[in-house]
Structure 1
Amino acid sequence: MNEGARDAEFGPLWHALEALTDPEIPVITLREMGILRDLRRGADGTVEVVITPTYSGCPAMEQIADDIAATLAREGVSGRVLTQLAPAWTTDWMTEEGREKLRAYGIAPPQCGSMAADEAVLRFAPARPAEPVPCPLCGSTNTTETSHFGSTACKALFRCLDCMEPFDYFKRI
């Protein structure tokens, strides 16, 4: 299906789905997180919403699937939610708008750049961020990791050594 026809068919539904927020970080949408991957028709003609978890054990995925199913029902659409594990989610899929929302919420966004076209899907990230993690509250880079696991497994706990406030850092995945 060409993109124009697809937009005509799914435009209102995309709009409704794009309003859904992450259950663990309610200031950022599933689209901004890169979790909401595709909206398409399955081989049987049923609408399929494709999502990819931030990591395979993410406890929010059941709630996300329920929220999507409720949105489909509210829009009068019969459909299903498909969880797609490959390619694996990466913080590179987060939008710039989403990163700014994380920062404003008090979570340091992941440090990452776009993947090169020839980069393999499997990557081994360093245990610690390569660059200093700026404090989302005061902007200082005089920060330290206090725990490799923060409020969720995809975040680490940091402390700013200038303003002395703790904050989450969304790990690069």
Structure 2
Amino acid sequence: MLTLADLGVLAGIEVDAGEGDAGEGGEGDGGHGAGGAVTAWLTPTYSGCPAVAEMAADVDRRLRAAGYRDVRVRLRLDPPWSTDLITAEGRRKLAEAGIAPPRPGAAAAAFAAAGPVPLALGPTRTAAGAASAASAASAASAVTCPQCGAADTEELSRFGSTACKALWRCRACREPFERVKEI
């Protein structure tokens, strides 16, 4: 199971053990506190992510089931989430689920090359051999198929089932797959 911690969405947990507890982290009661307060911080993948409410409700439910009475789930938008926050375990689990994980460090590399972002308006589908097709082929070479492991892949659509994924296809096994966008 892929967790919010695996995805780097769980930005932190703050526990206020309250009076009568063994202290923060709670050595006497396993950290659950008799009425202690806990704040969970979430950093959504996109600020408009429609799954934020469900993620927050799930975290709230699980913390209450663990014995916390005063539960707060807050959003932390700064620093923003990046695919570099996905753990190695999270990348492994994504691949096992048939979703191509982003390359480690790709977001930091893109940020380091900060500067003007070129903008070109034109068709999104071009004939083979065009500059944009060559650029797309170059980007695709870094994407490995999570089904068969082949590197001969192509992007079908920048838009997948969620805002943070794109739709790709493997030319070797012909299977479509989703890929987490590098941001």
TM-score by length of 1: 0.73
Cα distance in 1 for residues equivalent to 2:145 and 2:72: 40
Match of 1:99 among 91, 94, 98: 91
User: Which residue is equivalent to 2:21?
Assistant: none
Asked whether 1:38 is paired with 2:38, we answer no
The 8 Å contact of residues 132 and 142 in structure 1, kept in 2 or not, is answered as no
Match of 1:58 among 38, 49, 53: 49
Residue 76 of structure 1: how far off its partner (Å): 2.1
Cα distance in 1 for residues equivalent to 2:61 and 2:14: 17
The one-letter code of the counterpart of 2:5 is R
User: Which residue is equivalent to 1:75?
Assistant: 66
Q: Structure 1 65/30 Cα, relative in aligned 2: closer, same or farther at 3 Å? A: same
Cα distance in 2 for residues equivalent to 1:52 and 1:33: 10
Q: Structure 1 120/164 Cα, relative in aligned 2: closer, same or farther at 3 Å? A: closer
Q: Map residues 107-118 of structure 1 onto 2, 5 A cutoff.
A: 107-113=99-105, 115=108
Percent identity between the aligned chains? 46
The 8 Å contact of residues 140 and 152 in structure 2, kept in 1 or not, is answered as no
Residue 68 of structure 1: how far off its partner (Å): 1.0
Q: Deviating runs (4+, > 4 A) in structure 1?
A: 118-124
The 8 Å contact of residues 90 and 172 in structure 1, kept in 2 or not, is answered as yes
Q: Structure 1 103/56 Cα, relative in aligned 2: closer, same or farther at 3 Å? A: same
| Aligned partner of residue 11 in structure 2, secondary structure | strand
Deviations 1:130-164 (A, max 9, x none): 74211100111111100011111111100111110
Residue 59 of structure 1: how far off its partner (Å): 1.1
Cα distance in 1 for residues equivalent to 2:116 and 2:153: 26
Cα distance in 1 for residues equivalent to 2:13 and 2:95: 29
User: Which residue is equivalent to 1:28?
Assistant: 2
Q: Map residues 138-149 of structure 1 onto 2, 5 A cutoff.
A: 138-149=148-159
Residue 81 of structure 1: how far off its partner (Å): 0.3
Q: Gaps (5+ residues) in structure 1? A: 1-26
| Aligned partner of residue 82 in structure 1, secondary structure | strand
Match of 2:176 among 150, 166, 169: 166
| Aligned partner of residue 149 in structure 1, secondary structure | coil
Figure out how many residues of one structure are paired with residues of the other and give that number: 143
Query: Which structure has the larger Rg over C-alpha atoms?
Result: 2
